[in-house]
């Protein structure tokens, strides 16, 4: 089109934006929309750019496009609310929702489901009830997507019976409400009901999605239901979900929690397009099963493959260093995350560093580190030092740390527990 001098329209840009999967192509398309004067003046193009940036992970760019748009419609507000929802910025979702209402724009099913999901994430049940009342008033709850959000919200607010009543009142079954109800049963510890509903949905011709499998597998692993989990795994393979990264992550997590690391690794290796969640799941799974060296090798693979890591990865990498007291490597990892990934250590990471120093017998350094960051470390750090002192038989240092804890008004219940545990181990 460009080569033949044909001028693109708003429709052109909205269609091309759905084919964008890289940052460089996204920026090029945005630039072209600006040059043709459509990025800010055409609501269809603006909405398409917001959705595009959301999909490729440039959330700030999406918000910037929204703020520059001259005309906003309901789709514009829905798009930017989805951006804030993906960022777990629930207050931004609420601000957009109330602004949208104040401008007299009508809400639709997408709006309702997004805002209710944000209420569930924040556990803001008071505001959620207001949104729920609006949904009843506007008859939007009959929408299957909204219905699933309502079911999730009711389950999160400990109103499972109300969620069941709503679900049973549905005239037709769709995958979204079924997913929400299965997850609600499982979250409440009613695994038999969750599995029965899963089977009933299959009998009623409801094709499970990756989120169905993710919900049921996640809770099956929590309750140690190996037989049911493996049966679901067979169904996953039968329906062709084996290479789906969401399902693979749930399966990997399940087998790690069941201690079947060979199977977990096989599933992990079979996924061609691994995302950060899957890498982190495998990393933490190795740690949970006492395979610290393998976890450290897994982290090095992530660095070598330029996987952009987060705070969960940092915790896993530091925990892998902890058991062996790898001080230099642990401090290098902290520096790497600060400099390369711009991830600043938080409470659990500082405690890991203290634990690494303690496991290496560097108790004075561990105490100094904890004192320097006392506001961040607190009782957990000193308890870790105290436990390491007792395990390694350094009673003098244990007394010194216990005195420090008393001076700082930190409870020493952990100390008593450690002494008793150590004596029991020696017996």
pLDDT tens digits, one per residue of 324-383:
778 888 889 988 888 888 888 888 888 888 888 888 888 888 888 877 775 655 677 777
Length of the chain: 427
Indicate whether 386 and 410 sit together in one domain: yes
Indicate whether 358 and 333 sit together in one domain: no
Q: Which residues lie closer than 8 Å to 32 by C-beta, 6 or more apart?
A: 8, 13
Indicate whether 320 and 418 sit together in one domain: no
Joined together, the tokens standing for residue 397 give: 């240092």
Quick: pLDDT tens for 342-352.
Answer: 888 888 888 88
Indicate whether 416 and 363 sit together in one domain: yes
pLDDT of residue 364: 83
> Which one is predicted more confidently, 222 or 213?
213
Indicate whether 1 and 87 sit together in one domain: yes
Indicate whether 295 and 354 sit together in one domain: no
Distance, CA of 395 to CA of 308 (rounded, Å): 43
Indicate whether 408 and 323 sit together in one domain: no
The answer as to whether 357 is a domain residue is yes
Indicate whether 325 and 361 sit together in one domain: no
Residue 247, pLDDT above cutoff 50: yes
Quick: pLDDT tens for 145-164.
Answer: 899 999 999 999 999 999 99
Indicate whether 313 and 390 sit together in one domain: no
**Which residues span the domain enclosing 280?**
274-340
303 neighbors 284 (Cβ within 8 angstroms): no
The answer as to whether 145 is a domain residue is no
- Asked which of 103, 131, 158 is the last residue of a domain, the reply is 103
- Asked which of 55, 74, 103 is the last residue of a domain, the reply is 103
Lowest mean pLDDT among 174-183, 220-229, 239-248, 294-303: 220-229
- Asked which of 308, 340, 372 is the last residue of a domain, the reply is 340
pLDDT of residue 11: 92
> Rounded mean pLDDT of 36-62?
90
Indicate whether 384 and 321 sit together in one domain: no
The answer as to whether 203 is a domain residue is no
The answer as to whether 216 is a domain residue is no
Joined together, the tokens standing for residue 282 give: 């495998």
Residue 98, pLDDT above cutoff 60: yes
Indicate whether 427 and 407 sit together in one domain: yes
Share of the chain above pLDDT 90, in %: 26
375, with CB counted inside 10 A (0-12, 13-18, 19+), is exposed
Quick: pLDDT tens for 163-212.
Answer: 999 999 888 888 888 888 988 888 888 888 888 898 898 888 888 888 88
Indicate whether 308 and 355 sit together in one domain: no
The answer as to whether 25 is a domain residue is yes
Domain count along the chain: 3
The answer as to whether 219 is a domain residue is no
The answer as to whether 197 is a domain residue is no
Confidence of residue 258 (pLDDT cuts 50, 70, 90): confident
What is the four-CA torsion angle of 193, 199, 200, 206, rounded to 10 degrees? 130
Confidence of residue 60 (pLDDT cuts 50, 70, 90): confident
Quick: pLDDT tens for 262-311.
Answer: 999 999 999 888 889 999 999 999 999 989 999 999 999 999 988 888 89
The pTM for the full model equals 0.70
115 neighbors 93 (Cβ within 8 angstroms): yes
pLDDT of residue 151: 93
The answer as to whether 185 is a domain residue is no
């Amino acid at each position: 089109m460009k080569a033949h001098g044909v001028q693109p329209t708003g429709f052109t840009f909205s269609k091309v934006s759905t084919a964008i999967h890289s940052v460089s192509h996204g920026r090029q398309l945005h630039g072209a929309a600006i040059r043709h004067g459509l990025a800010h003046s055409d609501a269809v193009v603006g909405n398409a750019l917001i959705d595009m940036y959301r999909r490729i992970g440039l959330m700030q760019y999406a918000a910037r496009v929204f703020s520059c748009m001259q005309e906003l419609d309901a789709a514009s507000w829905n798009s930017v609310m989805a951006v804030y929802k993906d960022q777990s910025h629930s207050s931004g979702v609420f601000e957009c929702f109330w602004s949208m209402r104040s401008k007299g724009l009508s809400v639709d099913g997408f709006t309702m489901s997004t805002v209710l999901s944000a209420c569930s994430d924040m556990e803001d049940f008071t505001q959620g009830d207001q949104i729920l009342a609006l949904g009843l008033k506007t008859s939007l709850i009959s929408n299957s997507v909204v219905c699933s959000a309502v079911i999730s919200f009711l389950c999160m607010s400990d109103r499972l019976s109300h969620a069941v009543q709503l679900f049973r009142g549905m005239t037709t079954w769709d995958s979204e409400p079924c997913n929400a109800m299965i997850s609600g049963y499982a979250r409440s510890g009613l695994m038999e009901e969750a599995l029965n509903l899963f089977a009933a949905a299959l009998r009623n011709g409801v094709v499970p999605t990756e989120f169905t499998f993710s919900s049921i597998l996640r809770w099956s692993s929590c309750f140690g239901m190996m037989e049911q989990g493996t049966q679901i795994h067979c169904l996953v393979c039968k329906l062709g979900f084996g290479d789906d990264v969401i399902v693979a992550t749930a399966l990997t997590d399940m087998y790690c929690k069941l201690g079947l690391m060979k199977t977990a690794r096989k599933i992990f290796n079979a996924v061609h397009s691994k995302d950060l969640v899957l890498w982190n799941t495998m990393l933490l799974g190795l740690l949970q099963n006492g395979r610290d060296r393998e976890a450290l090798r897994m982290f090095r693979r992530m660095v070598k493959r330029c996987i952009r890591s987060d705070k969960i990865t940092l915790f896993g990498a530091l925990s892998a260093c902890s058991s062996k007291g790898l001080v230099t490597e642990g401090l290098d990892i902290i520096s790497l995350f600060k400099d390369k990934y711009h991830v600043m250590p938080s409470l659990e990471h500082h405690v890991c560093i203290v634990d690494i120093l303690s496991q290496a017998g560097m108790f004075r350094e561990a105490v100094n580190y904890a004192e320097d960051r006392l506001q961040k470390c607190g009782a957990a750090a000193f308890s870790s030092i105290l436990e390491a002192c007792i395990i390694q038989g350094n009673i003098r240092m244990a007394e010194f740390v216990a005195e420090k804890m008393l001076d700082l008004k930190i409870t020493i219940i952990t100390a008593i527990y450690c002494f008793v545990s150590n004596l029991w181990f020696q017996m």
